[in-house]
């Protein structure tokens, strides 16, 4: 998505450790009109799929998931929760997600009330790095007996392994921007 690449060039800040800060529109302040445009783009990209639910993970996937849902008919957003205690219960689907960026592991849960075998799910998230978050969401969808229809990502860090892993598994993955290279000293960002 050309407008997204331009916005990343204008507003993004490359930090040490290959971290891209996009706090001005995605991860701290939210540019609602711009997220709405991205939501519309996801609807266009996944319109052939019979999607009845959008799934994301708290916190920063929620905004873009909600704006995407606006462009589908009667599709709710469910967000997986990072649970504090190792919260094992009969009422929850449960998985663990390792974060390479934050160097921690989260227990992630979804209530069985909000995901079941009749669901055809579009996964939405803001960043794709090593793919742990998306693979955790896929695991939760499979536990529910539901179907993964596709995965929509705002910014894929193409030099990390997540995109390759998920495409090789055969999923329909669409990233609105794919970064092939970043340089924190020159402040350079190269798109695929
Ligand atoms: P992975 O899920 O693809 O394996 O990614 P990783 O563990 O490396 O990333 C963990 C968290 O860091 C995710 O947020 C992800 O969105 C975010 N992240 C990864 N790389 C970048 C980056 O370059 N810039 C920014 N701004 N975020 C990045 P999270 O743990 O789900 O937390 P939340 O922020 O959504 O609450
Ligand atoms: Na994040
Ligand atoms: Na996220």
47 alpha carbon to ligand 3 midpoint, in Å?
23
Structural contact between residues 151 and 175, judged by C-beta atoms closer than 8 angstroms: no
Does residue 27 have a known ligand-binding role?
A: yes
Rg (CA), the chain: 16
CA separation for the pair 162, 173 (Å, rounded): 11
Question: Per-residue pLDDT tens for 87-140?
Answer: 678 899 999 999 888 889 999 999 999 999 999 999 999 999 999 999 999 999
In this prediction, residue 90 carries a pLDDT of: 87
Q: Are 155 and 126 in contact (CB under 8 A)?
A: yes
- Give the fold, CATH level 3, of 39-177: Rossmann fold (3.40.50)
> Using omega within 30 degrees of 0 as the cis cutoff, is the peptide bond preceding 56 cis?
no
Q: Cβ-count burial of 57 within 10 angstroms (0-12 exposed, 13-18 middle, 19+ buried)?
A: buried
Q: Which residues of the chain form beta strands (DSSP E)?
A: 13-15, 19-21, 53-57, 77-83, 92-99, 104-111, 120-128, 147-157, 173-183, 188-191
Q: Pocket around ligand 1: residues whose beta carbon is below 6 Å from it? A: 19-22, 27, 57, 59-61, 99-102, 126-133, 157, 162
What is the position in ligand 1's atom list of the atom closest to the CA of 23? 26
pLDDT tens readout for residues 50-96: 999 999 999 999 999 999 999 999 999 999 999 876 667 889 999 99
Query: Does 33 count as an annotated binding residue?
Result: no
Atom of ligand 1 nearest to the CA of 22: 26
**Do the Cβ atoms of 100 and 127 come closer than 8 Å?**
no
- 51 CA distance to ligand 2 centroid (A)? 24
pTM assigned to the model: 0.96
Residue 102: the pLDDT is 84
- Which residues share a beta bridge with 136? none
């Amino acid at each position: 998505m050309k407008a997204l690449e331009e916005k990343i060039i204008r507003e993004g800040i490359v930090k040490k450790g290959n971290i891209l800060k996009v706090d001005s529109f995605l991860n701290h302040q939210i540019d609602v009109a711009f997220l709405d445009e991205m939501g519309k783009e996801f609807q266009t990209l996944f319109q052939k799929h019979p999607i009845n639910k959008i799934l994301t993970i708290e916190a920063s996937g929620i905004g873009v998931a909600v704006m995407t849902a606006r462009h589908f008919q009667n599709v709710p957003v469910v967000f997986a929760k990072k649970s504090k205690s190792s919260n094992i219960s009969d009422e929850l689907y449960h998985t663990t997600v390792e974060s390479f960026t934050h160097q921690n592991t989260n227990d992630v849960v979804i209530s069985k009330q909000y995901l079941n075998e009749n669901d055809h799910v579009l996964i939405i998230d803001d960043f794709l790095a090593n793919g742990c978050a998306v693979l955790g969401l896929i695991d939760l969808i499979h536990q529910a007996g539901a179907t993964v229809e596709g995965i929509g990502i705002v910014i894929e860090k193409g030099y990390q392994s997540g995109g390759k892993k998920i495409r090789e598994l055969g999923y329909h993955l669409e990233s609105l921007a794919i970064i092939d290279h970043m340089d924190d000293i020159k402040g350079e960002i190269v798109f695929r």
